[in-house]
C-alpha cells in the first residue's frame, strides 16, 4: 500500500486528480496538505492581503473550493488543474466576501417620524455602498480572469496586451474571426488538435467555414485568442473582451 501511494504521489498532478476521482482518498489528503501555500496565495490574491490559514475564514473557503475543484476537474476542458482550481477558489472567495457584505447591509426599521429623513439617507447610503462594492468586485474578478487568460495565451505564444493590435479593424472581419473560433471550439477533432498543437489547422478549417484561407491566416492569432476564451470558463472576461458571447 505504501509503495502504491508513493507511485501515485510521484505521478503528474492530473493523474493524481484522476486517482482521487476514482476513490483514492489518501492522495486527496496529500494534495490538500501539500497545496496549502497555493491555496493561501490564491485566496490572498482575491482578498488583496496576507491570509493566515489558522485565523482567516477566507482560507477555509479556499480550501473547500480546492477540494471541490478536485472533484469537478476534467482534462477535456483543456486547462490545467491549477488554472481551474485557482479560478474556482477566486469565485468562491468572492462569493463569500459578497455574502458577508450583504449581511452587513441593512435598512433601519425605526418608525419614529423625526428620524424618517435619517433612515432614508441611511438606506440610500447602504445601497450606494453595496453597488460600489459589487462594481469593485466585478472589476477585481475581471482582473483575476485577465491574469488567468494571459497565462493560457502564453501557451499559444500570445499575450493579453496583444489583443488590441491583433484584433481585426473592421467589424465584419472581427465577426468572421469569431465564427471561425466558435467552429474550431465546437468541432471535437479540430478543437483537440488546437489544444494539443497550439496552432490552427487552416487547411482543415477552410472547407467548413465561409471565410477565405487568406483571411483565416491573417487573423489566426486573434482566432486563437478567442478560441481560448471559448475553451476556458472565463465568465466575466468573455463578455468584456471584444463582446464575445
- Are 81 and 125 within one domain? no
| Residue 70 contacts residue 14 (beta carbons within 8 Å) | no
- Are 89 and 179 within one domain? no
Grid cell, residue 23, equals 476513490
How many structural domains comprise the chain? Answer: 2
E strand or H helix that includes residue 89: helix 81-104
- In the chain, the largest separation of any two C-alpha atoms, in whole Å, equals 77
| Residue 33 contacts residue 70 (beta carbons within 8 Å) | no
| Residue 187 contacts residue 208 (beta carbons within 8 Å) | yes
pLDDT tens digits for range 61-114: 999 999 999 999 987 766 678 888 988 998 899 888 888 776 655 444 444 444
- Are 130 and 99 within one domain? no
pLDDT tens digits for range 136-148: 556 666 776 787 7
Domain extent, residue 5, equals 1-104
- Are 186 and 172 within one domain? yes
| Whole-prediction pTM | 0.52
φ, ψ for residue 86 (rounded to 5)?
-60, -40
3-state secondary structure 55-66: CCHHHHHHHHHH
Alpha-carbon distances, residue 180 vs 171, 173, 215 (angstroms)? 14, 11, 10
- Are 114 and 173 within one domain? yes
pLDDT tens digits for range 122-170: 444 444 455 555 555 566 667 767 877 888 889 899 988 888 888 888 8
Amino acid at each position: 500500500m505504501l509503495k502504491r501511494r508513493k507511485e501515485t504521489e510521484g505521478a503528474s498532478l492530473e493523474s493524481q486528480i484522476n486517482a482521487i476521482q476514482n476513490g483514492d482518498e489518501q492522495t486527496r489528503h496529500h494534495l490538500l496538505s501539500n497545496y496549502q501555500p497555493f491555496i493561501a496565495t490564491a485566496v490572498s490574491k482575491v482578498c488583496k492581503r496576507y491570509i493566515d490559514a489558522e485565523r482567516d475564514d477566507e482560507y477555509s473557503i479556499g480550501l473547500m473550493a480546492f477540494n471541490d475543484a478536485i472533484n469537478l476537474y476534467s482534462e477535456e476542458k483543456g486547462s490545467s488543474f491549477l488554472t481551474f482550481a485557482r479560478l474556482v477558489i477566486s469565485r468562491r472567495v468572492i462569493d463569500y466576501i459578497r455574502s458577508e457584505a450583504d449581511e452587513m447591509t441593512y435598512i433601519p426599521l425605526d418608525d419614529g417620524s423625526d428620524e424618517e429623513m435619517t433612515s432614508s439617507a441611511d438606506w440610500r447610503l447602504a445601497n450606494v455602498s453595496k453597488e460600489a462594492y459589487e462594481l469593485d468586485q466585478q472589476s477585481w474578478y475581471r482582473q483575476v480572469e485577465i491574469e488567468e487568460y494571459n497565462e493560457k495565451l502564453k501557451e499559444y505564444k500570445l499575450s493579453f496586451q496583444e489583443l488590441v493590435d491583433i484584433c481585426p479593424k473592421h467589424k465584419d472581419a472581427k465577426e468572421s474571426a469569431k465564427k471561425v473560433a466558435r467552429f474550431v471550439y465546437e468541432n471535437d477533432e479540430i478543437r483537440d488538435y488546437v489544444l494539443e498543437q497550439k496552432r490552427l489547422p487552416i487547411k482543415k478549417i477552410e472547407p467548413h467555414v465561409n471565410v477565405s484561407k487568406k483571411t483565416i491566416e491573417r487573423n489566426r492569432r486573434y482566432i486563437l485568442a478567442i478560441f481560448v476564451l471559448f475553451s476556458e470558463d472565463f465568465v466575466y472576461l468573455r463578455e468584456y473582451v471584444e463582446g464575445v458571447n
